[in-house]
Amino acid sequence: MSSTPIPLPARLDTNGPRYTSYPTADRFTPAFGAADLRLALARRRPGPLSVYVHIPFCESVCYYCACNKIVTKHHDRAGPYLDLLAKEIALYGDALGGPQPVTQLHLGGGTPTFLSDTELSRLMTMIKATFPLADDAEVSIEVDPRTADADRLAFLRELGFNRLSFGVQDFDPAVQQAVHREQSFLSVAALIHAARSLGFVSTNVDLIHGLPRQTPESFARTLGQVTALHPDRIALYAYAHLPERFKPQRRIVPAELPDGTARLAMVREARRVFGDHGYELIGMDHFALAGDSLAVAKREGRLHRNFQGYSTQPDCDLVGLGVSAIGRIGPTYAQNAKTLPEYHAALDRGELPIERGCALDADDLARRDAIMALMCRGRLDHAEFERAHGGVFTERFATELADLAPLAGMGLVELDPDAVVVTPAGWQVVRAVAMVFDAHLRTARTTARYSRIA
């Protein structure tokens, strides 16, 4: 990756979907329910399977957070929640006709480390009984550095976890105070050092730009601290201030948010610093060291994308467990109930706790392939697309190709006779390229609900 920041056109300083799915989750409807998912599970073809488990509990609220969470200091709530997960797992086992091997397992939240060692052990036993892990499975968990120490990491390693993701966001004390998430650099450094000594395959650090009280100068200090830790991967997310949708964000003082010019300066400096320290841009906002499996997959054209972001796993089905979790089975997506009472009630009825979802039609499937090719490989090959979906690419997407012409003029894409190719500059705003192929955005042209493209 070049260490020289590439200027971002002002007209692309906007919002857009992250495309962890297509159609995006805001297009799901209640018309798709538990019966539809059961049918999809019954029709599922053998193949790689991924599992995501949502643990919603957090001891304290981070003001920037847009995740589905339950803030509580009452750890006795975890046991009953595991009872519900046991019911859900059993329903999936029944619908799938028995145990199904899994190549990827991820625990997210919320704060998965809210669970005690005994509870985490129980959860892993429950999961493995129905979803046995392949020998080479990627087994990852999100860790709040404030709730973990070296002994906790050692226990996670014993349970079979081989990848860790640490939520850092920013090391500046003023920013941490403004978002109600205070943690020291030394504590995170100790955890990453422990993770390496314990043999974890990969460590990831999450950062957020656009937080209150952040300045280009303060964020540059955080960048220096993060690169000094030398994690295998770094995710740099853009803060989306949507207080009308996410109640905790109402505690953020709007006047303390950095403006667009400052945010852009932070992103450019981050890309420069990461490049200088050996990180490659994987796509959009993910970076990895050259030897990391994500970087290798990117170079070899094997990168994929799912609800956890970029992945080395083959394009595969995903079972989502827990309140608000989203899954994908074949040409369908399904999301669980977003509140614990609704989730509980469905499981008490013996039903999969599906609140909404969608079944993809032929056009959705074709556009999903087009968008994922751009997001993951940076190349949409006409002939490859035609072999998979028929028709003539240039005729089917004549409008889209015309809309890409201005982006080509900016040097963000190349419209070759046989392919659409994302340039090195275009990788910074690859969502803008993918959005051109989003039919749902064309029919409901709004981007307010999404995070910043860059």
Reading phi first (left if > 0) and then psi (alpha if -120 to 50, else beta), residue 180 is in left
Q: Collapsing DSSP states into helix, strand and coil, what is residue 69? A: coil
Q: Is 316 annotated as a binding residue?
A: no
**Which of 154-174 are b and which e, b meaning 16 or more Cβ less than 10 Å from the residue's Cβ?**
eebbeeebbbbbbbbbbbbee
Is there a binding annotation on residue 326? yes
Residue type for position 333 = Y
- CA dist 147 and 59 (Å) reads 9
State yes or no: 19 annotated in a binding site.
no
- Report whether 240 belongs to an annotated binding site: yes
- For residue 349, what are the CA distances in angstroms to 34, 41, 331, 352, 353? 12, 19, 26, 9, 9
Alpha helices by DSSP H, listed for 259-409, are 260-276, 293-299, 340-348, 362-376, 382-389, 393-396, 398-409
Residue 351, C-beta contacts closer than 8 angstroms, at least 6 positions apart: 34, 91
Contacts of 382 (CB under 8 A, 6+ apart): 393, 394, 418, 419
Q: Can you say how many angstroms the Cα of residue 153 is from the centroid of all Cα atoms in its chain?
A: 22
Q: Any binding-site annotation on 66?
A: yes
Dist. CA 129–CA 92, nearest whole Å:
12
The Cα 4–Cα 7 span in angstroms is 10
Q: Is 110 annotated as ligand-binding?
A: yes
Is 383 annotated in some ligand binding site? Answer: no
User: Residue 224 and residue 314: Cα distance in Å, rounded?
Assistant: 34
215 marked as binding residue: no
58 is in an annotated binding site: yes
Residue 52 known to bind ligand? yes
Is 181 labelled a binding residue? Answer: yes
309 vs 296: CA distance, rounded Å = 16
| Cis upstream peptide for 98 (omega within 30°) | no
Q: Which residues contact 331 (CB under 8 A, 6 or more apart)?
A: 40, 359, 360, 364, 365
62 is in an annotated binding site: yes
Q: Using the 8-state DSSP alphabet, how is residue 323 labeled?
A: T
Classify each residue of 20-40 as buried b or exposed e, where b means 16 or more C-beta atoms within 10 Å of its C-beta.
bbbbbbebbeeebbbebbbeb
Give the residue ranges of the annotated binding site for S-adenosyl-L-methionine: 52, 64-66, 109-111, 142, 169, 181, 206, 240, 326
Residues annotated in a binding site for [4Fe-4S] cluster: 58, 62, 65
**Per the annotation, where are the binding residues?**
52, 58, 62, 64-66, 109-111, 142, 169, 181, 206, 240, 326
